[in-house]
Structure 1
Amino acid sequence: MMVGDDLFEGLPVHGARRSAQVGRGAARMREPVRDQVELRAVDIDSLIGQDHAVRVIWSYVEGLDLSTLEDRIKAREHRPGHPPISPRLLLALWLYASSDGVGSARALERQCGSHDVYRWLCGGVSMNYHTLSDFRVGCADLLDRLLAEHLAALADAGLVTLDCLAQDGVRVRASAGAASFGRKATLDRHLSIAEAVVDQLKHEVDARSDASTRRIEAARERAARERGERLRAAQVALDEIERHRQAREEKRGNRKKPKEPRASSTDAQARVMKMADGGFRPGYNVQVASTAGEQFVVGLEVTNAGSDHGLMRPMLERLRALSGHLPRRYLADGGFGSAEDIEWAHGEGVEVFCPPTQSKHGTDPFLPRRGDGPGVSAWRARMASETGKAQYKPRSICECIHARWRNWNLRQLTVRGIEKVQAVVLCYALTNNILQGHRLANG
């Protein structure tokens, strides 16, 4: 067909142009050939800079005593058994992944096979996401201990003082959707359906003979069984929510009947709470106690309470259990201003700096009120003075830790349950302290 001659008539003819250049020939150029196979000798260590953050983290992990984890390994010299991945390597991977915004085990497994930094960490050790996931959710106690030991080392080096601490909360989106929340009747209906599906799948597994189909049916049965367990956990959460609501309403003297509670069939411990952008979504309230100026995390507690009110005393008690003493000054946001907590802290020798909430009647919140104890009276006078306001100013610096975690992609969790969330956030806290300590020591 000669359609091309008519369709593209008038365009320049390259062949004619090349033939007109007598004696020069066609141009020679280096074109990419991407289907070729090549072998390369690469020194991975030279690809990572000497001041790279991953070297800081590995240097820290390399000096740790992880004998409690290594003693659990069954593979020993001169004995059979496949050697597991070193817990030192798994810890280093999760610490660096926290600073790199990698929040899931599957994403970390992919990075270990493709990214030079993670390949440098692995050093030829292959990874699988099951091992990575199991290690992270099971190392909360280890991370808690390492956080306390690292903070003690920083204090001995003079890089941090624990006389003045600040507390603030950050909301993190849970691994649950808003549509997963249901009332008791809805959860009961879903549970009965899930139990019927489990019974049906059990019968199908017993009736079939071929192995491949049995494995598929067994997987479906396991998924249905796990859904039933989550639904039963949601029913337990409903009773807990109902008890808390009744206690709160009795304390307030409110006789109105509260709304029927709802719980998530995906993550029973998640609660709908107000986020930083003003919206309401399922999440967790991560309470962080930190040094006011140096941005080091001292204590951490994950709760599903939507309000910060009344969370000051539990954090102070946790700090005393970890370090053996309480800070001299304690800075908190306005939402933590519970009179009971302030009075208790005053009795323990802690000066609380927390702005009082504005009265609905427009009265001066710094004036003494009927029923104020000596601790609350001293707190009102302290916050009304210019000296107290100046001492309270460093509290806002602690929010830099939350901003750093946001930059590290701590926005939505990939695990479910308070215990697992605690382990994940502890990874971020320890990574923050390691890198911040390195900056101060070398700054």
Structure 2
Amino acid sequence: MFELTLGPEEKRVRRTRRRDPVARFKPDKAAQLDAVAGCPELQVPAGHLCRDVGRWVERLDTSRVEAGYSSLGRHGYHPKRVLAVWVYASLIGLHYATEVARAMRTDAAFRLLSGGHAYSEGVLKRFRQQQEALFQDALEQTVRLAGHAGLLDAQDLAVDSVRLRAHGSTKQVRTLHRSKERLEELARQDVDALEPQARQVHAAKVHKHTEAVRLCQQRGASSVVLTSPAAALMKFPSGAGLPGHRATVAACGQQARLVVGVLLDAAAVDYGHLEDAVREARRVLLKAGMPQQACLQVAADAGYGSKADLVFAQSEASWVDVLVAEPQAAGEPTGAGGLFGRNDFRLDAAERSVLCPAGRKMRGPLYDKAHGYDRFVGVGCDVCPLKPQCTRGRERNVTVDWDFERARASMRQRMAQPGARQRYNRRIATVEPVFSSLEDAMGYRRVSSRLPQTVKAEVLLKLLAHNLSRLITRQRLVLVLFRLS
């Protein structure tokens, strides 16, 4: 027998292009009668929230996501319908895929949004995990839609943050300070005098804390959560120290209260976040149609009063006008234990000198090369009658970063200008309702995932739901005013 062999150029090329490039999705069966859920189109009232959600989600452009679906084989669920289901679930307080999948079996509102289909838990989880880019793009589209409706005001921006519980246990938290202390304690133990089993326990403890120190130094953080890489230990308003995430939000308009910028990290404080938040808000507003030469006006609380934040406000005054209030007014004691604070010392940047509350010129400056600031030491503190109010040590020490002090002085001058305090007071009514909507109206206080990409996608989804709820409310008010007129 003879065997015929073909060369590489003669081999049959397998078809790799699909015959129909248009993606196919499961058909809409919401108007059909179902044995379990009935007919959703007839069951859901005309003014139901889910109908408004469906109409607004339909206006969003999801073509990039749709292009990733195949036209061959088993048809998938339309991304707009899955997105509408997640948005509606967020607005009514369902944040876990298991809860949403269970509700979709019999809830007519969910079945109407899904086109008569009941999504499984896996479909909902995968969609939320993989569509971070879609949620970000949809959030920006809501800002663009608000701009077309005249709801955006670049002169009324506010920045603040909210802490969300992480999906992690406090037993999985490791702090840099505590691990270093434990390593020092373990190093002082005589390992040779221990029993074999005790040696193994000792070695395990050393490995645990050594790894914790390595992770903290690698991430540049003071704490890590082993089971949730995007989380860290932070102080919550209740006073408890728990694993959490920090979501920094830039909101626009006292009436609209729309989210125009989101940053997510595991920082313990707000310090240093102002520049990134303002630049992100400006990027989104420019995409929404704001003129390039427009000057933003941003208000932030005292948590954004670090050197990096105030220097940014001073150096970028050409395109952004920032208002940041100090924690306390000048002249009030700000030191620990009721002692004199920084505001009680008179700083002269021109001469680089400091006068203490008693009017004496302090000795210095003594430059601290390691930290980059000047240090001043009190003169005659041992005989000063104000010493009990100034220091409990031998002499009072004051450190001064002159770049920081110039930025603080510049911000004080800006806050003292006419109208600055009135505009700053609008901050609470602009950004705080966003957090109230998130935590109280939606009941969203804890993230349901540990994966970093899913955590960010989940927070973006909730803020997208907030923006859509604001557009729905505005549409209803316009309709009411139209009917009244």
Would you say same fold, with TM above 0.5? yes
| 1:250 corresponds to | none
Within 5 Å, give how 1:32-47 maps onto structure 2.
42-47=38-43
Identity %: 25
For 1:139 and 1:113, the matched residues in 2 are separated by 24
The alpha-carbon deviation at position 167 of structure 1 amounts to: 0.6
Gapped regions of structure 2 (runs ≥ 5): 1-34, 180-206, 287-291, 329-333, 350-401, 478-485
Deviations for 1:87-135, whole angstroms, at most 9, x for unmatched residues?
A: 1111111111111111111111001112221122223213111111111
Is residue 437 of structure 1 aligned with residue 416 of structure 2?
A: no
| Structure with the bigger percentage of strand | 2
3-state SS of 1:114 partner: coil
| Segment drifting more, 131-140 vs 359-368 | 359-368
Pairs aligned (count): 342
| 2:453 corresponds to | 419
Is residue 66 of structure 1 aligned with residue 62 of structure 2?
A: yes
Q: Which one of the candidate residues 314, 326, 338 is aligned to 1:356?
A: 326
Q: Which one of the candidate residues 410, 414, 418 is aligned to 1:378?
A: 410
The alpha-carbon deviation at position 369 of structure 1 amounts to: 6.4
Letter in 2 for 1:391: R
TM-score by length of 2: 0.64
For 2:51 and 2:36, the matched residues in 1 are separated by 24
Is contact 1:173–1:283 with CA below 8 Å preserved after alignment? yes
Is residue 387 of structure 1 aligned with residue 419 of structure 2?
A: yes
Letter in 2 for 1:395: R
| 2:353 corresponds to | none
3-state SS of 2:104 partner: helix
| Structure with the bigger percentage of helix | 1
Letter in 1 for 2:259: V
TM-score by length of 1: 0.70
Within 5 Å, give how 1:249-328 maps onto structure 2.
263-293=224-254, 294-324=256-286, 327-328=295-296
For 2:446 and 2:64, the matched residues in 1 are separated by 31
| 1:17 corresponds to | none
Is residue 337 of structure 1 aligned with residue 305 of structure 2?
A: yes
Letter in 1 for 2:435: H
For 2:226 and 2:83, the matched residues in 1 are separated by 31
Is contact 2:87–2:461 with CA below 8 Å preserved after alignment? yes
The alpha-carbon deviation at position 337 of structure 1 amounts to: 0.8
Is contact 2:248–2:262 with CA below 8 Å preserved after alignment? yes
The alpha-carbon deviation at position 425 of structure 1 amounts to: 1.1
Deviations for 1:61-109, whole angstroms, at most 9, x for unmatched residues?
A: 2223322222222233xxxx21111111111111111111111111110
Q: Against the structure 1 CA distance between its residues 277 and 40, is the aligned structure 2 distance closer, same or farther, given a 3 Å change threshold?
A: closer
Q: Which one of the candidate residues 149, 153, 166 is aligned to 1:157?
A: 149
Is residue 140 of structure 1 aligned with residue 123 of structure 2?
A: no
Is residue 168 of structure 1 aligned with residue 160 of structure 2?
A: yes
For 1:348 and 1:415, the matched residues in 2 are separated by 37
Deviations for 1:150-183, whole angstroms, at most 9, x for unmatched residues?
A: 2122112212212321011100000001012247
The alpha-carbon deviation at position 376 of structure 1 amounts to: 3.7
Q: Against the structure 1 CA distance between its residues 278 and 40, is the aligned structure 2 distance closer, same or farther, given a 3 Å change threshold?
A: closer
For 2:137 and 2:165, the matched residues in 1 are separated by 26
Q: Against the structure 1 CA distance between its residues 235 and 137, is the aligned structure 2 distance closer, same or farther, given a 3 Å change threshold?
A: farther
| 1:221 corresponds to | none
